[in-house]
A and B are shown apart, each in its own frame.
Chain A
Amino acid sequence: MIFAGIDIGSITAKAAFIKNDKLMATKVIPTGYNPITAGEKVFSALLEQTGIDPRDIRAIVATGYGRNSVKFANRAMTEIICHGKGAHFLDPRIRGIIDVGGQDSKAIALDRTGQVENFAMNDKCAAGTGRFLEVMAKALEVKLEDLGTISLGSRAPSKISSICTVFAESEVISMIAGQQKREDIIAGIHESTAARVAGLVTKVKLEAPIIMTGGVAKNQGMIKALENRLGIEILVGDYPQENGAIGAAVIASRIHLQKI
């Protein structure tokens, strides 16, 4: 039996299929302007990739900020629960998830059975999210995906203390004017973002092993900054971006089996 999960995030839309309790395939596309079409697009792209007939999909769960716009889903669940299910499904040892996405960052604590025990999210302001990194990348005229690699070359990270994106951007601009090294500024940005995210982690008292999910998990500089800050190893699985969609597919199978 095949089940599908669809995760509509602010930047990318993800889909995942599971078959007989095994991950089958995943797909990531940009969300674009319209979350409704993004859901349809990513779903049909994955159908095409796997050659599966939509009639063979027994249940679909949608998640992410656009979860309610996926009209063909049987149910919508928040990404918090889905990330929990996804991480547990892929690696049952996981007890903590750090998810840094475009709009939100979250820390999610799981119990031994993969149930969410507690979670914390950033407040309305953008500091500590992918969006913050995007603003900073723009100010530095660096590609978002290059931030990680560049920062690894830093010997002395700059210090950015402002909690507010606007204040921090102003700090960064004066650092550029002060001719500080680009890699140091970027490493500083990672450290300040890591401090914000670490706050969420301590808030819910995450226990090891901790996995990082979301688009920002691909940024090696961020992982390093977080590990330094927390003094703990952070795992990155094979599917950091698709983790929520995988969890949604898992939930779809549970719903189908009347376990929820």
Chain B
Amino acid sequence: MKEINPFHAAINDPGGLAAGIKKRSGKILGYMCSYAPEELIHAAGFHPMRLFSSKSDICLAQNHLQAYCCSLVRGVLEDSLAGRLDYLEGMVFPHTCDSIQRLSDIWRLNTKFNFFADVVMPTKLNTKSARTYMTDVLKKFKTDLEKAAEHSITQNDLQNSISLFNRIRRDLSRIYELKSQFPSIIKGTDLFAIIKGSMIMDREELAQRLETIVLLLEKKDPPPYSGKRIILAGSICDMQDIYKLIEASGGSVVADDLCTGNRWFEGSMPENIDPIEALTARYADRAICPAKHSGNTTRGENLLALADTHKVDGVIFATLKFCDPHAFDYPYMKEFLEKSSIKNLHLELDDQQQGLGQLSTRLETFIHMI
């Protein structure tokens, strides 16, 4: 489908994409965590751009982060210190995990971008005081953005951003729905490109393109699917090969619980209430990341519900080595799945790794086995 080509182009050359955006519409703010309030960044007239590691050799970052720091955090720091992110106007750090917490300090002390903001979101999300605090933090961030943009963000700006992001989320959800209904309707690698591209492309352009893709997909008459239905769960999954290999082995990813997937786009914001309140509601109620707290078994229950809705045959956990929040949740989530007789496999990945290596044997065997 040629409509997907721009997404592949975007993810293959994020630097080139960023240069284009910078030239056309101005300033770019980077972020690494799906709790970064993109709507606010966009409403201020900045382009929100999620950063992924370019997977270059870690050299400069070695002087700041030890080898037991996760490859994503080290990789992005390396890109920044090596000048590969010079297109950025600045960076936004919503508090995520211990490693990104320190990355924020190291970034602040060692880089020279015009803009820098710690948006220390609450860790606890299920209390009234935490929500009040989140609202306070968002308001403060809004003021910081206004200062940097040298103009105020009106209610109207925010409403417009919210409805734009609602459109994007709705269309991404629709594509996921179709993928689950007709797994052969779109290739896994194409879906990967759409999702990853959606986090970096110009959002107005993105909304248009997604709409077109949805329309095209809805017209398609895909053949019935008889392969294995898989959920991919974990932190970020920046490895196209996984999707490719799953399909080559006779499976398909029909749903995910990923920070670069469902957790990032699911849900919509109410458009008829105060926009900051709407943002608070969205970020407090969305599918939760393990670095946040909202009950002791929420993530396990979410995963079971997901498995049930999508009638899956197996779950593949793809986590990054040295990612503590996910490593702590893995044993109980596995147990939850096993109690419901859902087969699962754990792949511990290095974000810097090129290709799956020996993991591919395990992945193939797993899909044949279920």
Are A195 and B358 CB-contacts (below 8 A) given A123-B67, A202-B63?
no
Are A167 and B354 CB-contacts (below 8 A) given A161-B57, A191-B57?
no
Contact in complex: A125, B67 (CB < 8 Å): yes
Residues in A with CB closer than 8 Å to B342 are: none
Partner of A196, one of B62, B353, B355, B358: B62
Contact in complex: B354, A160 (CB < 8 Å): yes
Interface residue? B198 (CB, 8 A): no
What is the CB-to-nearest-CB distance from B315 to chain A, in angstroms, rounded to a whole number? 23
Contact in complex: A163, B357 (CB < 8 Å): no
Interface residue? A112 (CB, 8 A): no
Residues in B with CB closer than 8 Å to A173 are: 357-358
A191, B57: Cα distance in complex, Å: 9
Contact in complex: A162, B353 (CB < 8 Å): yes
Contact in complex: B358, A174 (CB < 8 Å): yes
Are A199 and B63 CB-contacts (below 8 A) given A161-B55, A161-B352?
yes
Interface residue? A171 (CB, 8 A): yes
Interface bits A156-190 vs B (CB < 8 Å: 1, else 0): 00011111100100110110000000000000000
Are A229 and B353 CB-contacts (below 8 A) given A123-B67, A174-B358?
no
Interface residue? A129 (CB, 8 A): no
Contact in complex: A195, B57 (CB < 8 Å): yes
A197 to chain B: closest residue by CB? B59
A125, B354: Cα distance in complex, Å: 20
What is the CB-to-nearest-CB distance from A45 to chain B, in angstroms, rounded to a whole number? 39
Residues in B with CB closer than 8 Å to A127 are: 67
Residues in A with CB closer than 8 Å to B66 are: 123
Interface residue? A198 (CB, 8 A): yes
What is the CB-to-nearest-CB distance from A75 to chain B, in angstroms, rounded to a whole number? 33
Q: Which of A159, A167, A173, A198 has the most CB of B within 10 A?
A: A167
Per DSSP, are chain A's interface residues mostly helix, strand or loop, or mixed? helix
Interface residue? B178 (CB, 8 A): no
Q: Which of A164, A173, A191 has the most CB of B within 10 A?
A: A164
Residues in A with CB closer than 8 Å to B352 are: 161-163
Partner of B350, one of A164, A191, A200, A229: A164
Contact in complex: A174, B71 (CB < 8 Å): no
What is the CB-to-nearest-CB distance from B355 to chain A, in angstroms, rounded to a whole number? 6
A203, B59: Cα distance in complex, Å: 10
Interface residue? B119 (CB, 8 A): no
A199, B63: Cα distance in complex, Å: 7
A164, B357: Cα distance in complex, Å: 13
Interface residue? B337 (CB, 8 A): no
What is the CB-to-nearest-CB distance from B290 to chain A, in angstroms, rounded to a whole number? 23
A12, B356: Cα distance in complex, Å: 37
Partner of A174, one of B58, B63, B355: B355
Q: Which B residues fall within an 8 A CB radius of A?
A: 55-60, 62-63, 66-67, 71, 321, 350, 352-360
A-B pairs with beta carbons under 8 Å apart, 26 shown = A123-B67, A127-B67, A161-B55, A161-B350, A161-B352, A162-B350, A162-B353, A163-B352, A164-B321, A164-B350, A167-B350, A170-B357, A170-B358, A171-B353, A171-B355, A171-B357, A173-B358, A174-B357, A196-B62, A198-B59, A199-B58, A199-B60, A200-B62, A202-B63, A203-B62, A203-B63
